[in-house]
């Protein structure tokens, strides 16, 4: 076995149907008495449910979380936390809401209780992102890692089927790249394969019945594992491409991940055969790249960047940005091949099968 370092992250997870009810006890464990509840405008009702559960321990609700955490929103939320004398933030929602909690924690050190309602995985990472003057800066700081995460599958039942599928494949992307990360290790490999398998089982069932409780539970379990992978080991080409496409061309986060992943896997397949083998084992089929593509296509997700607002004339610029700084990736970054990858993702073609497979 190769040498490795495993660094576990200190977060507490409470998982299961109905586990939202344990929020007051979890606040006690954190010795927190005044929570600022965070949400998007669309999820105000969920935040009110949380506030009702907390009673007098809810200091207030800040309902203006939006994608990519604009610095102005972060400042308003920080000010609101100070004004109300909050001693913790409870973030109920997807990656955008967790991201707002992280922006508060970065500034104040307030502990975050995250209650995820998508599969994005931000709640398991010490990574934050804040957008200033159109530029998203990301960084790593242990202060932003949520101290407690409550995974209650019932809260994800309202996530629309389309977003459930793309958010689930966003999670698979974390695990897939973790399998060929330079910081990879055997424990992370176990979590990654199990996470991909759980989501691979769950997503078609959610498509068939959005309120299938067992499938929602399986998907959230998979998302948790994939989130640990994202928080623990470094990512590679796929995440770099999606960061570029989302940040520079304003493409939607989960859909972009869903479309690019099969092509990033095809690009890396020959250089990372063991990772591909694990993904095939988790999803079935003869090719990791094709299995992810088929999971998306067969469950109604978009498979072409042109279908989500990318313009053909921006592909060269996207390629330039992706090539601009080097970062670890199983296969060296080759301009012509990356440009072709982007073209294939733009057109939505089904990728080639894994090498040395039928
Ligand atoms: P999101 O949080 O933006 O949510 C998308 C929409 O779905 C929002 O309108 C939200 O209110 C709604 N929604 C969420 N859960 C719902 C539910 N159960 N029912 C009904 N509606 C619901 O989307 P996301 O994909 O979860 O997060 C994307 C953002 O998170 C991006 O900005 C991305 O960069 C960031 N992110 C950060 C990390 C990290 O480690 N820092 C990891 C993953 C994602």
Q: Give the C-alpha separation, 12 to 24, whole Å.
A: 15
Q: What contacts 315, CB < 8 A, 6 or more positions away?
A: 339, 342, 343, 346
Q: What contacts 231, CB < 8 A, 6 or more positions away?
A: 9, 121, 124, 125, 126, 127, 145
User: What is the side-by-side strand order in the sheet with 88-93?
Assistant: 12-15, 148-151, 112-116, 88-93, 35-38, 58-62
Distance 67 CA to ligand 1 centre (A): 7
HSE on the CB side for 257, CA within 13 Å? 23
Distance 95 CA to ligand 1 centre (A): 4
Cα 325 to the chain's mean position, in Å? 23
* Residue of 163, 158, 99 whose CA lies nearest to 131: 99
User: In this predicted structure, what is the pLDDT of residue 288?
Assistant: 98
Distance 312 CA to ligand 1 centre (A): 27
Q: Give the C-alpha separation, 112 to 123, whole Å.
A: 9
Question: CA 186, 191, 193 angle in degrees (round to 5)?
Answer: 90
Residue whose Cα lies nearest atom 2 of ligand 1: it is 94
Taking each helix axis as running N to C, give the angle between helix 253-268 and helix 273-283, from 0 to 180 degrees, rounded to the nearest 10: 130
Render each residue's pLDDT in the chain as its tens digit; 358 residues. 889 999 999 999 999 999 999 999 999 999 999 999 999 999 999 999 999 999 999 999 999 999 989 999 999 999 999 999 999 999 999 999 999 999 999 999 999 999 999 999 999 999 999 998 877 889 999 999 999 999 999 999 999 999 999 999 999 999 999 999 999 999 999 999 999 999 999 999 999 999 999 999 999 999 999 999 999 999 999 999 998 888 888 899 999 999 999 999 999 999 999 999 999 999 999 999 999 999 999 999 999 999 999 999 999 999 998 898 778 999 999 999 999 999 999 999 999 888 865 4
Q: Which of 9, 66, 91, 93 to mutate to test the pocket of ligand 1 (most atoms within 8 A of CB)?
A: 93
Q: CB neighbours (10 Å) of residue 12?
A: 13
Q: What are the phi and psi torsion angles at 302 (to 5°)?
A: -65, 145
DSSP helix/strand/coil, 121: coil
User: How much is the pTM?
Assistant: 0.97
Q: Is the CB of 99 under 6 A from ligand 1?
A: yes
Q: Give the C-alpha separation, 189 to 110, whole Å.
A: 32
Domains along the chain?
A: 12-156 (3.40.50.1970), 161-347 (1.20.1090.10)
- Hunting for tokens 């769950």 — which residue is that? 202
User: In this predicted structure, what is the pLDDT of residue 356?
Assistant: 63
């Amino acid at each position: 076995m190769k040498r490795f370092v495993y660094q576990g992250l200190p977060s507490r997870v409470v998982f299961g149907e109905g586990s939202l009810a344990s929020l007051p006890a979890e606040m006690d464990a954190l010795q927190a008495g005044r929570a600022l509840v965070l949400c998007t405008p669309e999820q105000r009702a969920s935040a009110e449910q949380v506030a009702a559960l907390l009673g007098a321990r809810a200091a207030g609700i800040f309902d203006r979380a939006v994608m990519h955490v604009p610095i102005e929103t972060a400042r308003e939320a920080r000010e609101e936390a100070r004004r109300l004398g909050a001693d913790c933030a409870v973030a109920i929602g997807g990656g955008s809401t967790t991201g707002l909690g992280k922006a508060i924690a970065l500034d104040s050190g307030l502990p975050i209780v995250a209650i995820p309602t998508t599969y994005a995985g931000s709640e398991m990472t010490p990574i934050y992102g804040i957008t200033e003057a159109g530029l998203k800066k990301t960084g790593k700081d242990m202060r932003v890692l949520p101290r407690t995460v409550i995974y209650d599958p019932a809260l994800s039942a309202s996530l629309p089927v389309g977003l459930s599928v793309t958010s689930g494949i966003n999670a698979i992307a974390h695990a897939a790249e973790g399998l060929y990360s330079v910081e990879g290790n055997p424990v992370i490999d176990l979590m990654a394969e199990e996470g991909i398998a759980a989501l691979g089982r769950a997503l078609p069932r959610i498509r068939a019945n959005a309120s299938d409780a067992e499938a929602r539970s399986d998907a959230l379990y998979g998302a948790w594992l994939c989130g640990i992978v994202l928080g623990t080991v470094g990512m590679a080409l796929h995440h770099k491409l999606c960061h570029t496409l989302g940040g520079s061309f304003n493409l939607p986060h989960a859909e972009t991940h869903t479309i690019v992943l099969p092509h990033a896997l095809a690009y890396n397949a020959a250089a990372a055969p063991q990772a591909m083998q694990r993904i095939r084992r988790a999803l079935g089929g003869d090719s990791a790249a094709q299995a992810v593509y088929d999971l998306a296509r067969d469950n109604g997700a978009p498979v072409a960047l042109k279908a989500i607002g990318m313009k053909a004339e921006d592909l060269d610029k996207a390629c330039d940005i992706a090539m601009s700084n080097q970062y670890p990736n199983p296969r060296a970054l080759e301009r012509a091949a990356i440009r072709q990858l982007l073209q294939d993702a733009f057109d939505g073609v089904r990728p080639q099968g894994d090498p040395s497979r039928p």
